[in-house]
Amino acid sequence: MSKISRRKLITTGVVATAGASGLAVAASLARRYGLIPPDSGGLYGPGETLTYAAQRLLTRHSLAREFNRNQISKPPFANEVAPLGEAFKRLQEGAFAGWRLAVDGMVARPASFSLEELKGFPGRSQITHLACEEGWSYIAEWMGVPLSHILNAVGTLPHARYVVYRSIQSDWWESIDMADALHPQTLVAHGMNGSELPVAFGGPLRLRVPRQLGYKNVKYITSLTVTDSLTRFGKGLGSASPESGYAWYAGI
Ligand SMILES: Nc1nc2c(c(=O)[nH]1)N[C@H]1C(S)=C(S)[C@@H](COP(=O)(O)O)O[C@H]1N2
Ligand SMILES: [Mo]
């Protein structure tokens, strides 16, 4: 069977069986094709599986909307963050010259990049929307290195399925699957609206994943781990968000 028709068949199967009685069928199809999100075991499990599986089959390659320069929000509004600790302040005093992004896990060449090194990689800029699950949002221009470029530089192994990313704020960590990690709009962002990324918006380094809600866009990132399983991270639900009741997959 051709790739397209097989894909169509799976999509039809997963979506068409979405009725209450079909959830189990959808879940077993999703399992067969590796479309189960890591937080599928909870109260909303079948719903999470259905959302994720359907999104993955239908929109794997689609782009988040990009806007024109005249649509950039003025002034943008930053969500408040908890006080940044001593380690952050020391790095900030040194103009973030000591900031590192470590990359490890299922990669051929684990590495640790400075901000300067990251800024030297081929960059991309895009004007996209950032939406918080609480309802507010803004449009900004983001500059950064496509995460795919970093993953290619370290040599992601073929069995990799997820990228875990962590903040200097240790309770903020998330993960995305390889479809989002390799997506051209997923950036390790270091700039915003033509300047350095302000601290309020996650500077010096933030994961920008415009196809998912605000909380997946972790500020102050310090490390990435490539993995084929999320069971050994935190409570094994994929990221910090499902541990406090939010969906691991927050596609928009
Ligand atoms: N490290 C860290 N990352 C974070 C947060 C945070 O408090 N700390 N808040 C998240 C939430 S809930 C949202 S909606 C967005 C807010 O991004 P903004 O301040 O650019 O609007 O950042 C996300 N990333
Ligand atoms: Mo949020």
Pocket residue to mutate for ligand 1, from 133, 188, 219, 222, most atoms within 8 A of Cβ: 219
Tens of pLDDT, residue by residue over 36-54, are 899 988 667 788 888 898 8
- Note the ligand closest to the C-alpha atom of 165: 1
- Could you tell me which CATH number the domain at 69-243 has? 3.90.420.10
- Note the ligand closest to the C-alpha atom of 76: 1
As a whole number of angstroms, the longest Cα–Cα distance in the chain is 59
Which residue intervals of the chain bear CATH 3.90.420.10? 69-243
Question: Predicted confidence band at 108 (pLDDT cuts at 50, 70, 90)?
Answer: very high
pTM of the model: 0.91
pLDDT at 84 over 60: yes
pLDDT at 10 over 90: no
The angle at the Cα of 117, spanning 115 to 121, to the nearest 5 degrees, equals: 110
Task: Give residue 60's pLDDT.
Answer: 76
Whether 41 contacts 27, CB under 8 Å: no
CA distance 219 to 78: 11
